[in-house]
Amino acid sequence: MLETAPDTANQSAKPLHNAETIAEPLRSEPVGRLTGATQPPGDKSISHRALMFGALALGETRIEGLLEGEDVLRTAAALRALGAEVTRDGPGLWRVVGRGTGGLCEAADILDLGNSGTAVRLLMGMVATQDMVTFFTGDASLRRRPMARVTTPLARMGAEFLAREGDRLPLAVRGAAEPMPISYRLPVASAQVKSAILLAGLNAPGETCVIEPEPTRDHTENMLRHFGAAIWVGDGPEGRAIRLRGQPELRAAPVIVPADPSSAAFAVVAASILPGSEVLVRNVGVNPLRTGLFTTLLEMGADIAFLDRREAGGEPVADLLVRGAELRGVEVPAARAPSMIDEYPILAIAAACARGETRMLGLGELRVKESDRLRAVAAGLAACGVPHREGEDSLVVRGDGTPPGGGGMVATNMDHRIAMSFLVLGLRARAPVAIDDARMIDTSFPGFVAMMNGLGARMGAAA
Ligand code: S3P
């Protein structure tokens, strides 16, 4: 008989913001320069995965430096609801006692993943090859996002889905009683889709293979290895093939989470655009599949030194020493998009402060993020008087090297990265920049305002 997990649906760490709290406008004011040292919170992608692999492994997994942002706390609550023991021992210190591959139990209630696309898509993969029914939902932003990219391959593995409007949350999954491994070529470059298939493949007999046209972040592959799965990665004419042998016994393994390069990005760009700045950003994950923004900033003339390169928990890390610099516009090739997919909003801010045109290509995926990010960035730039051109999958931003106008009220559309990016613009603009709602910042970067103000920024409640 299928075991049912204890009813833990109400243990999620915080209320749903959209339903239970009201918008918090915030603004940032022009400042001279930033100085000091800081360490952004843990990597979001690695934090989700550490909890998930801990839940699928036998034994106790200890995690250090876990991001305690809302998105990851949602994953922790969902895993508890699926039967794993997830405990917080102190700031960033977590423990997971797993259930073994295929050992999750049916949740007693709907799993609400809030704002997190990564959480819901990866969890869908985890439950798709277990003989049980799971219901998923999320906040208004997540309920608008397409899920067919994961349900299509997972259905081929034997799972059945029932979703609003065909592929929107709320969504029900009946996991496959007799899962089948698949070989699947990703139609879009997406680490979430790749990871969902690999997680489903863990509980299928035989070999699951994912082929990606462009390499995307490989934290799932690294962690599969770290937890003892047999996995092979090879580059071929069709792209990168990742092959996983199904039904391994995953063994608990300690995880050290580096600081998130996508969060470090805000301090790195802020220090780069403010002349005279000198900021040390510590312990940043510099996995080459995540560092497209840093490459681009260096091409633009940024002054970033990578100090003390080392490895922590199987991922490369470094301390970044960033000084203010005169940036110039560049063309950012489409092939770079997967390695900086979350960083285009903050790159657009750097571009607004650079001299010349910055052309960003291959941005189609930005339309299906926490918001239509291409639209939201263009609207924010318009509100702040920054010349730009929005294409179907491109963005061109023009600056003259002097402070942009600012003075606008930017609509964040429930998107944390839009909120943080435009707060950074306000530091260099001629007039303060306001955002309509700062609540979503907590999904990925609790303490963002305090960290930036600690370096000399002026961000605070809008009057
Ligand atoms: C993520 C993959 C990316 C990224 C997201 C995190 C992950 O999404 O935008 O913030 O952890 O796998 P896509 O897979 O949709 O590109």
Please answer whether residues 116 and 74 qualify as being in contact, where contact means their C-beta atoms are separated by less than 8 angstroms.
yes
Atom of ligand 1 nearest to the CA of 195: 12
Asked whether residue 248 carries a pLDDT value surpassing 90, the answer given is yes
| Tens of pLDDT, residues 195-208 | 999 999 999 999 99
| Phi and psi, residue 264, nearest 5° | -55, -30
Residue located nearest, by CA, to atom 9 of ligand 1: 342
Residues 166 and 286 in one domain: no
Phi-psi region of 126 (alpha: psi -120 to 50; beta: other; left: phi over 0): alpha
**Nearest protein Cα to ligand 1, atom 16:** 190
Closest protein CA for atom 13 of ligand 1: 190
In the structure encoding, which two tokens stand for residue 101, read together? 């591959």
Q: Is the pLDDT of residue 427 over 60?
A: yes
The answer to whether residue 20 sits within a structural domain is: no
Predicted confidence at residue 314, as pLDDT, reads: 84
- Domain tally for the chain? 2
**How far is the C-alpha of 403 from the C-alpha of 354, rounded, in Å?**
9
3-state secondary structure the chain: CCCECCCCHHHCCCCCHHHHCCCCCEEEECCCCCEEEECCCECHHHHHHHHHHHHHCECEEEEECCCCCHHHHHHHHHHHHCCCEEEEEECCEEEEECCCCCCCCECCCCEECCCCHHHHHHHHHHHHCCCCEEEEECCHHHHCCCCHHHHHHHHHCCCEEEEECCCEEEEEEECCCCCCCCEEECCCCCHHHHHHHHHHHCCCCCEEEEEECCCCCCHHHHHHHHCCCCEEEEEECCEEEEEEECCCCCECCCEECCECHHHHHHHHHHHHHCCCCEEEEEEEECCCCCCHHHHHHHHCCCEEEEEEEEEECCEEEEEEEEECCCCECCEECHHHHHHHCCCHHHHHHHHHHCEEEEEEECCHHHHHCCCCHHHHHHHHHHHCCCCEEECCCEEEEEEECCCCCECCEECCCCCHHHHHHHHHHHHHCCECEEECCCHHHHHCCCCHHHHHHHCCCEEEECC
Pairing of strands 355-361, 93-97: unpaired
Q: What is the mean pLDDT of residues 177-185?
A: 98
Q: Give residue for tokens 């939902």.
A: 137
Task: Answer whether residue 21 is part of any domain.
Answer: no
CA-nearest of 151, 143, 170, 137 to 9 is 137
Residue from 192, 257, 372 whose mutation best tests the ligand 1 pocket (most atoms within 8 A of CB): 192
**CB-based burial of residue 235 (10 Å sphere; 0-12 exposed, 13-18 middle, 19+ buried)?**
exposed
Q: Looking at residue 462, what is its pLDDT?
A: 75
Going by alpha carbons, the residue nearest to atom 5 of ligand 1 is 118
Dist. CA 403 → ligand 1 center (Å): 32
Considering the domain architecture, whether residues 225 and 262 belong to the same structural domain is answered as no
Q: Please tell me the residue having the least CA distance from ligand 1 atom 15.
A: 190
* Residue 13, pLDDT above cutoff 90: no
- Statement to judge: residues 305 and 363 lie in one domain: yes
Q: Is residue 198 part of a domain?
A: yes
- Ligand 1 binding pocket includes 190 (Cβ within 6 Å): yes
Query: Do the Cβ atoms of 349 and 420 come closer than 8 Å?
Result: no
Ligand 1: centre distance to CA 193 (Å)? 9
User: Is the beta carbon of 343 within 6 A of some atom in ligand 1?
Assistant: no
- Ligand 1 atom at minimal distance to the Cα of residue 188: 16
Report which residue type is found at 111: L
Task: List phi, psi (to 5°) of 283.
Answer: 60, 35
Within a domain: 163: yes
What separation in Å is there between the alpha carbon of 405 and the centre of ligand 1?
Answer: 32
Q: Identify the band that residue 15 occupies on the pLDDT scale cut at 50, 70 and 90.
A: very low
Q: Which atom of ligand 1 is nearest to the CA of 262?
A: 10
Residue 182, in any domain of the structure: yes
* One domain for residues 105 and 234: yes
**Model confidence band, residue 251 (pLDDT cutoffs 50, 70, 90):** very high
The pLDDT tens digits of the residues spanning 52-95 come to: 999 999 999 999 999 999 999 999 999 999 999 999 999 999 99
Domain edge (last residue) among 235, 255, 275: 255
In a domain, 14, yes or no: no
Q: How far apart are CA 288 and CA 311, in angstroms?
A: 13
Domain that holds residue 128: 44-255
The one-letter amino acid code at 120 reads: V
195 CA distance to ligand 1 centroid (A)? 10
In a domain, 10, yes or no: no
CA 264 to centroid of ligand 1, rounded, Å: 17
**Of the residues 43, 49, 118, which should be mutated to test ligand 1's pocket, given the most ligand atoms within 8 Å of the CB?**
118
Give the Cα separation of 270 and 448 in Å (integer): 13
In this structure, are 251 and 262 located in the same domain? Answer: no
Task: Judge if the beta carbon of residue 397 lies within 6 A of ligand 1.
Answer: no
pTM score, two decimals? 0.96
Q: Which of 200, 223, 255 is the last residue of a domain?
A: 255
Residue of 70, 147, 341, 368 best suited for mutating to test ligand 1, as the one with most atoms within 8 Å of CB: 341
User: Which atom number of ligand 1 is nearest to the Cα of residue 193?
Assistant: 14
In a domain, 139, yes or no: yes
Q: What is the CATH number of the domain that holds 263?
A: 3.65.10.10
Which ligand 1 atom sits closest to the C-alpha of 220? 12
The predicted model gives 160-167 an average pLDDT of 97
Are 182 and 270 in the same domain?
no
For residue 218 the two structure tokens come to 């490989």
Q: Does 27 have pLDDT greater than 60?
A: yes
> Which atom of ligand 1 lies closest to the CA of 217?
12
Instruction: Give the residue numbers annotated as catalytic, written as ranges.
Output: 342
Last residue in a domain, options 197, 225, 255 = 255
Query: How far is residue 61's CA from residue 328's CA, in Å, rounded to a whole number?
Result: 46
- Does ligand 1 lie within 6 Å of residue 45's CB atom? yes
Cβ neighbors of 127 (< 8 A, separation 6 or more) are: 82, 104, 134, 159, 173, 175
The Å distance, Cα 92 to ligand 1 centre, comes to 22
What pLDDT score does 11 carry? 40
Indicate whether residue 192 lines ligand 1 (CB < 6 A). yes
Mean pLDDT over 22-47 rounds to 97
Ligand 1 in contact with 46 (CB < 6 A)?
no
- Clarify whether residues 231 and 110 are in a common domain: yes
Kindly list the strands in the beta sheet with 388-390, ordered across the sheet, starting from the edge strand earlier in the chain: 331-332, 355-361, 394-400, 388-390
> Considering only CA atoms, which of 115, 111, 73, 113 is closest in space to residue 94?
73
CA gap 239, 57 in Å, rounded: 30
Q: Does ligand 1 have an atom closer than 6 angstroms to the CB of 263?
A: no
- State the pLDDT at residue 21: 82
Same domain, 195 and 286: no
Say whether both 268 and 215 belong to one domain.
no
- Residue 287 Cβ contacting ligand 1 at under 6 Å: no
Distance CA 273, CA 440 (A): 25
Residues 188, 174 share a domain: yes
Distance 150 CA to ligand 1 centre (A): 13
Sign of the CA dihedral 171, 260, 302, 404?
A: positive
In this prediction, residue 463 carries a pLDDT of: 63
pLDDT of residue 5: 53
- How far does residue 432's CA lie from ligand 1's centre (Å)? 31
Measured distance CA(188)–CA(216) in Å, rounded: 10
Q: Are residues 355 and 430 in the same domain?
A: yes
Residues 382 and 427 in one domain: yes
Which residue has a Cα nearest atom 11 of ligand 1?
45
Whole-number mean pLDDT of the chain? 95
